[in-house]
Structure 1
């Protein structure tokens, strides 16, 4: 799913590995009539501990909007909740004693 303010507004239509950057290039489709400000960020999020991933659009405040075929460069990968829990359980807060 592609979500904006928690509401499904589209779907992920493709994911490929970019051989130059070793990052995932993702193509998404957004419902017609949904305008995304051109300073928005895209974040891969998780439903919960065992839930699936989805793409969350964090809208910016620009008066200009993305057009069909535009590339969004402000992206963030998902944080592994299981890795964070394991660090917490192991007592690894990252702070020096």
Structure 2
């Protein structure tokens, strides 16, 4: 019996895959250079082709608030559950502005 893998991207076969026509595509410049400001609401949407600054899969699809900037990365505060708030540091390739 083989043990299940415990890597950073385990159990992400469907979650971290692109569509057939999107494979190998680098994120658009409009996504990479979007001018996020402190206080903006964002959605964490992991881009599997961009490995640097990739947040953990548990944050994929969650909505957070930009708290700060660290070089090219953004500090995002993500509420999980009713009272827990996590802080993640990720690149702009894995963020999308909230459409609300």
- The bucket for the TM-score relative to the shorter chain is under 0.3
Normalised to the residue count of structure 1, the TM-score between the two structures is 0.24
Largest Rg, 1 or 2: 1
Larger relative contact order, structure 1 or 2 (CA cutoff 8 Å, min sep 6): 2
Normalised to the residue count of structure 2, the TM-score between the two structures is 0.24
More strand by share: 1
